Amino acid sequence: MEAAEAEVRLLLQEARESIEAARSYRRELQQRLRGLHQAREQIKQSATLTRDVLEQHFSDLKGTLKKLLDERLLSLLQEVDVIEQESIKPLDECQKLIEHGVSTADDLLREGESAVDGDVGTQNEKLCNFTKKALHIQLDSLPEVPSLVDVPCLSAQLDDCLLTILKNQIFKHGTVASRPPVQLEEFVEKPGGILVRWCKVDDDFIPQDYRLQYRKSSASHFEDVYVGSETEFIVLHIDPNVDYQFRVCARGDGRQEWSPWSVPQMGRTTLVPHEWTTGLEGYSLSSRRNIALRNDSQSCGVLYSKAPTYFCGQTLTFRQTVGQPDRRDSLGVCVEQQNGYDSLQRDKAVCISTNGAVFVNGKEMTNQLPAVTSGSTVTFDMEVVQLGPCSNEGGNFKLRVTISSNNREVVFDWVLDQCCGSLYFGCSFSYPGWKVLVF
């Protein structure tokens, strides 16, 4: 009896496992069906888009060609008009001269006939006058008429070489690619931005430049955001928690035309953008408050971030335009805002001076970085290393800090007496002209 029950339980267990396997198999098949549906939709959508692009391009091309041919025809017709007018003008003048001569000869003939047929008493006087007049007119002088061989004979010189060239170029114009040579690879969230990375997927394709475009999911048109040789780019001014669509293409080495676009992909950031705090007299801010400019005000002090938006595990980047340096200048992060200081070279802060000196809790380190230059970037990376129990009441807390500038870096441990989930950033400059972008 017990053996029978055991056998039943075993069969039930096997049946349950088979049912679960069947469910898993069905889920996998359904997932693959969804994948097939997405692949089919991608083919159809890209084919429709490609048809639209081809039709629009060749329609524009035909319009442009017709316009160019019409312009060339008009130019040639105008050239015919000019040659015709210039060639006929001397003939018209010669015709007028001959017609005038014919009229003069007719008058002279009538006068001569009248003199010959006149009365005897007046005949002598008329004949004398006629003879003088005939001698004055110079009846042996005739205007020269050009022979036909000297007269222009217009003709159009046309051949089929243009058609041959156009035919060869048209038959080679345009290609249809089934796979773009470059694809989007990764999206990394940044405060108020997204780091977009892409990679080459066609081994035979040699890229010269890449072109990255993006748009909000609600927008109808893509816009260029980067053109260059790098394979990653930080797209700034991204609204948090909003979907953006990205695509990338490439231009082959020595080519002018761009490759097909990659498959568009969605990216978003959940991180609010870094902002400088407003109201400090010595600094002017951009409209997005991510750029601070040290102005001509004599007021000095530390310009802090609006909120502690820098979290460990992220990269904080400063890019600056330089002014006159001072040893008290600083760029860095701190646990809290402390008014009354003119630099971050103080307790509970780490920073780099514009001359490259690194300060931890107000003390200068022996290691030093290169001096800050215009257009260069200074980055801060931090990871948490906990020394002792950390609670709401505080405790030993250590951050491993990496500061990089001009392709060099220093790494050190920053020991604090309290837990810090997020940090403020700040800067201070003694002289005007410094401008700092933070992202």
Domain-embedded: residue 7: no
**What would the pLDDT profile of 127-178 be if each residue is shown by its tens digit?**
777 677 766 776 666 777 777 777 788 888 888 888 888 888 888 887 777 7
User: pTM of the entire structure?
Assistant: 0.57
Domain-embedded: residue 275: no
Domain count, the chain: 3
Where a domain ends, among 269, 301, 332? 269
Type of residue found at 129: N
Where a domain ends, among 222, 245, 269? 269
Q: State how far the Cα of 295 lies from the Cα of 288, in Å rounded to an integer.
A: 18
Which parts of the chain sit beneath pLDDT 50? 390-394
For residues 290 and 433, state if they share a domain. yes
Type of residue found at 136: H
For residues 53 and 188, state if they share a domain. no
* Residue-number span of the structural domain to which 161 is assigned: 14-172
**What would the pLDDT profile of 368-401 be if each residue is shown by its tens digit?**
999 999 988 999 999 988 755 544 444 578 899 9
For residues 136 and 196, state if they share a domain. no
Domain-embedded: residue 329: yes
CB 249 within 8 A of CB 234: no
Per-residue 3-state assignment (H helix, E strand, C coil) for 349-395: EEEECCCCEEEECCEEEEEECCCCCCCCEEEEEEEEECCCCCECCEC
| Nearest Cα residue to 420 out of 278, 279, 310 | 310
For residues 199 and 308, state if they share a domain. no
For residues 74 and 163, state if they share a domain. yes
Domain-embedded: residue 197: yes
Domain-embedded: residue 5: no
So what's the pLDDT on residue 139? 64
For residues 204 and 327, state if they share a domain. no
For residues 35 and 123, state if they share a domain. yes
- Contacts of residue 405, Cβ cutoff 8 Å, sequence gap at least 6: 352, 356, 369, 370, 372, 376, 377, 378, 379
For residues 45 and 165, state if they share a domain. yes
For residues 141 and 201, state if they share a domain. no
Where a domain ends, among 142, 172, 202? 172
Domain-embedded: residue 3: no
For residues 408 and 294, state if they share a domain. yes
Domain-embedded: residue 274: no
- Contacts of residue 372, Cβ cutoff 8 Å, sequence gap at least 6: 320, 322, 325, 331, 352, 354, 355, 356, 378, 405
Residue 186 sits in a domain of what CATH number? Answer: 2.60.40.10
For residues 433 and 304, state if they share a domain. yes
So what's the pLDDT on residue 417? 82
Q: State how far the Cα of 350 lies from the Cα of 330, in Å rounded to an integer.
A: 9
Domain-embedded: residue 9: no
Cα three-residue angle 320-324-330, rounded to 5 degrees: 55
So what's the pLDDT on residue 394? 47
